[in-house]
Amino acid sequence: MKKVLIIGGTGSWGQELTRQILNNYDVEKIVIYSRGEHKQVDMSRKFNDSRLKFVIGDIRDKSQLKLASMDIDYMFHLAALKHVPVCERNPVETIKTNIEGTQFATEVAIENRIKTFILVSTDKAVDPMNVYGVSKSMAEKIVVSANLKTFNTKFVCIRGGNVLGTTGSVVPLFKEQILKANEITITDDRMTRYLMRLEDAISLLFTAMIDSKGGEVFVMKMPSIHVSDISKLMIKELGNDKTQIKQIGIRPGEKMHEVLVSRYEASRSFEYGDYFVILPTIDINQLYAKWNIKDYLTEEYNSLNNRFLSEDELKENLQKDGWLEKISVKELEKYSKDELLNYFKLENWSRNNQI
């Protein structure tokens, strides 16, 4: 892995991916491509590594993306509008970024003869019932079908569920709510979600990058949790006997339980170590013959029929990333929600000498 481009590289996934590439691979340069100058400056200071190159650009801007991806070997596509209610209110903008932007990225990868293109997708793309899910489902289709247009670039998708502590997840929100208002709001206490630490999720990504043949969707095997279990544990560790839990109802476009492999995909999906692998509905470059699989799944893989984390396992995962460490309300008020995420996560990394 010599030259890498990460689209949307200043986000939670992008920063952890960058850290693992720098620490584990002989890399010549990593180009971080994103829209926000402040996040790029912040990331540059935190990593302080001459191998990082920062380019301001939007995935909607094909010409800028093509320039940024010249002489690149591996392209990771992490950029997306992903907050479900925001996408519901802004469907046209979501289409422009998540669908049209992905099309531009695949075209650029082919034109610049990039070796491997990896899209990070989501469980929301399975049986989609909201704008975000539909857009990511289309993004997967675009990436998979790109394998029909070239033999020079390998296109593969990674599909994951919720990753602990990333931007938009409930963990930083719950911590902020407890420390600021001494209450937590949850949508429905019956709701289940997949959950995995970001470090583990990124590690799995490399396996798919190396082992894929082109055209697959690799699905991370992730344990499940009840959202209410997270709230109760965080109140136990950070709250007090006056901390309240308020149910506010399911948000627009939300599901009660998430699915990573649908019942329609099961008949062409199989287990592969820490993954399930989904083969496309069309045979791309003799992909079925290359895998030569005889035993396929017989049912869908969802967050309700899955293994659930115990309270001790959940606590251990939260502790590893510093989410159960307290901070004074006075200090808390200095940070926005996104800044809080970076503060808790990156302070913990620094203490472990990982950056």
Residue 89 CB neighbour total at 10 angstroms: 12
- pLDDT tens, residue by residue, 331-353: 666 666 666 665 555 444 333 33
Of 124, 175, 221, 255, which residue is the catalytic one? 124
- Residue 347: predicted pLDDT: 46
Please give the Cα distance from 355 to 343 (Å, whole number).
14
Buried b vs exposed e over 233-267: b needs ≥16 C-beta within 10 Å? bbbebbbeeebebeeeeeeebbbebbbbbeeebbe
How many Cα atoms within 13 Å fall on the side-chain side of residue 329? 8
Mean pLDDT of the chain: 88
CA distances from 274 to 218, 297, 353 (A): 10, 15, 28
Domains and CATH numbers, the chain: 3-351 (3.40.50.720)
CA distances from 27 to 22, 84, 152 (A): 7, 35, 21
Contact between 158 and 119 under an 8 Å Cβ cutoff? The reply is yes
- The DSSP output letter for 279 is -
What is the CA 350 to chain-centroid distance, rounded? 22
- Residue 64: predicted pLDDT: 97
What share of the chain in percent tops pLDDT 70? 90
Total-model pTM? 0.84
Active site residue 294: no
- pLDDT tens, residue by residue, 266-297: 999 999 988 999 999 998 989 999 999 999 99
Please give the Cα distance from 249 to 189 (Å, whole number).
9
